[in-house]
Structure 1
Amino acid sequence: MDQQLRVFVTVADRQNFSRAAAELHMTQPAVSQYIQSLEKTIGTKLLERSNKYVRLNKAGEIVYHHAREILGLHTRMQNLVDDLMNTPSGRLTIGSSYTYGEYVLPHVVARMREHYPAITPTITIHNSTVIAEQVANRQLDVGIVEGEYVDDKMCIEAFADDRMYMIVSPQHRLAQKEQVTLADLEAEAWIVREEGSGTREAAEKMFRQLQISPSRRMEFGSTQVIKESVEAGLGISLLSYWTFRKERKLGTLRTLKYPGTPVTRSFSLLTKTNEFPTKALDIFMDLIRHYLPEGTHA
């Protein structure tokens, strides 16, 4: 049954029998046979097929959702048993929000790989909302999210504080001011992240707390694009110091001084409640707790 589910999930992900067969190192007729056998066991067709595509039907969507969870549980069970007999090894699925995932996590993973080369990490970067959903659905072993997160079904552990600053181009008119005013901030175009992002959540919280009502906003889905846009003089933004510390050293971005800033938020580790952690997960989480990025103070 596990092999049937594995083949089914691969076909659904690749939307093609030939590509699934190549990935699974199987023949295409063998893949088709596994799918037919699974459909016979379930009692209904699971895929809509044509010469151009392979898609899940309604029943297929239900089976796909649960198949991913079953396969994840099987892998986790095997890893736990292996842990009892061997040194830390195996696959570790890590999810992270953009800020930590793009600017800090690679250094943590590099350190883990240096000392524990038998652990194979797979990394997913997305906004905090999506990462939390994937941990809840057991698509990820552990997630790293920004800001305030509450869920009774999750173990939530704050492990680091992040300081966020208002940033501008050195050529911006506000860059020359010792301290900006509320009127200055409200008159500027603010560049913010998309809904669901922890950085967007922090910006909205700051607007409320400092009673800032921006007259213009632009929403971008990438921190890198926001930095480039601020450097180009398109507007101002609120970003984690971890994301722009290189630009600050180079002098291509500056921070603004305003009462109530920098804004502080937390990064948290998310895992499923009542899960047995593997040695690989324990090692990763311990590294995360003790890792302090260089130059975290502005």
Structure 2
Amino acid sequence: MIEELKTFIAVVDKKSFTKAAIAINISQPSVSLHISNLENYFHTRLIERSNKQRNIFITAQGDLLYKRAKQILSVLEETKEELLQSDQSPCGTLRIGASMTIGEFLLPSILSEFMKSYPNIKLDMTIENTEHIYEKFKNRDIDIALIEGTVPVENYIYHNFYKDSMVIVAPVSFQYDKGAELKTSLSNQTWIHREKGSGTGENLNIFLNSYGISPKNLITLGSNYAIKEAVKNHMGISFISSLVVDESVKHKEVKIIPLKNQYYRYFSYLIHENNLPKAVELFLERLHKNGGNI
């Protein structure tokens, strides 16, 4: 049954019997047999096949089995690793997904200390925007999600672990009336922001709306580094984590426009359940110790 479940996951992921066979290194007839065995076992159709277009369609029952199969295989792998490890030398694989700001500026120092303490734990890291990390978390492709944006409320554990300061950053040559209202000073400017699905982009939209600021133009860039460089090179202004620009401010490459009230947001982690793999438990301990500031 385990091999059949692995085959089914591959078929859903690849959306093709042929591509699934190549991915898991078995013959296409074996793929078809595995799917047939599952359908017979569960007494339901899992995949609809279109002979003319050679397309496959996952049924509602198939979608449910896909999610459960990933959970089953994940638990089996975690159990295997825990049975092999000893308390003196924890091992296993830690699958972390982090949104861009966390993954680029906060996580490296935490992981460095973690790896020194637990050299036998393997790390599998994914760094993307909040929306993509959340999707991987829902599909159980990662064990823990570290995010900076809001996500739908579902059946998982959600916990804030870091209070992040957001700042308005501008080119060093940027001139504004310090006595004017923020709305007046910062409207009709070119603003640089992140793509849809980004926690930083979400916070920029909230900030602009809360102050009634109307940008003259919006430039979308796909990384924090790109935004910092764009501001540095006089392309516009932005609203971004202080973690991204602290060094550039120190070197007078960009400057911060002061706010009357400091603007904060929270970094959060998501986990699936309380009965966690040992590697995840150990990482959360390190996260709260080295990363937490709330």
Instruction: Please state which band the TM-score falls in when normalised by the shorter chain.
Output: 0.7 to 0.9
* Letter in structure 2 aligned against 1:87: S
Counterpart in the other structure of 1:8: 8
CA–CA separation in structure 2 for the residues paired with 1:15 and 1:269: 31
Structure 1 vs Structure 2 CA RMSD: 3.4
Note the 1:212-251 alignment, pairs <5 A. 212-251=213-252
**Aligned residue identity for 2:66:** Y
SS at match of 1:291: helix
Which range moves more in the overlay, 53-62 or 118-127?
53-62
CA distance in 1, matches of 2:30, 2:180: 68
The Cα offsets for residues 262-284 of structure 1, whole Å up to 9 and x where unpaired, read as: x21111121124x3112211111
2:276 corresponding residue in structure 1: 277
1:68 alignment counterpart: 70
Q: 1:246/1:32 Cα in 2 relative to 1: closer, same or farther (>3 Å)?
A: farther
**Residue type at the aligned position of 2:278:** K
- Contact 1:231/1:253 (CA < 8 Å) preserved in 2? yes
The match for 1:199 is: 200
Question: Within 5 Å, which residues of 2 pair with 1:112-261?
Answer: 112-147=114-149, 151=153, 153-174=155-176, 181-182=181-182, 183-261=184-262
Query: Is residue 168–residue 255 contact of structure 1 (8 Å, CA) maintained in 2?
Result: yes
Letter in 1 for 2:89: T
Structure 1 residue runs of 5 or longer lacking an equivalent are none
Q: CA deviation at 1:49?
A: 8.0
1:204-249 alpha-carbon deviations (Å, 9 max, x no partner): 3323443433343333333233223222322110111212233334
SS at match of 1:117: coil
Contact 1:96 1:131 in 2 (8 A): yes
In structure 1, distance between residues paired with 2:253 and 2:69: 49
Say whether 1:290 aligns with 2:289: yes
Distance 1:89 1:40 in 2: 38
Offset at residue 155 of structure 1 (A): 2.1
CA distance in 2, matches of 1:269, 1:122: 16
CA distance in 2, matches of 1:13, 1:265: 35
Structure 1 distance, partners of 2:150, 2:35, is: 43
Count of aligned residue pairs for this structure pair: 290
Letter in 2 for 1:229: A
Partner of 2:110: 108
- Scaled by the length of structure 2, what TM-score is found? 0.80
Contiguous gaps of at least 5 residues in structure 2:
none
Would the aligned equivalents of 2:149 and 2:198 in 1 still touch at CA under 8 Å?
Answer: no
Task: Answer yes or no: is the 8 Å Cα contact 1:93–1:122 preserved in 2.
Answer: yes
Question: Distance in 2 between the 1:132 and 1:32 partners?
Answer: 31
Deviations 1:171-191 (A, max 9, x none): 3345xx767742120121112
Query: Aligned partners of 1:147, 1:212: CA distance in 2, in Å?
Result: 21
Q: 2-side partners of 1:156 and 1:240: how far apart? A: 21
TM-score by length of 1: 0.79
Residue 143 of structure 1 aligns to a residue whose secondary structure is: strand
- Residue 97 of structure 1 and its aligned partner are, at CA, apart by 1.4
Evaluate the alpha carbon distance shift between residue 243 and residue 35 of structure 1 in structure 2; reply closer, same or farther with a 3 A threshold.
same
Equivalent pair of 2:106/2:291 in contact (CA under 8 Å): no
Structure 2 counterpart SS, 1:280: helix
Equivalent position of 1:98 in the other structure: 100
Once the two structures are overlaid, the 10-residue window that deviates more, 130-139 or 160-169, is: 130-139
SS in 2 for 1:255: strand
Matched letter for residue 214 of structure 1 = P
* Counterparts of 1:179 and 1:73, CA distance in 2: 60
Query: 2:12–2:58: 8 Å Cα contact kept in structure 1?
Result: no
| Cα contact 1:80–1:277 (8 A) shared by 2 | no
Deviation for aligned residue 1:110: 2.8
Distance of 1:49 and 1:78 partners within structure 2: 39
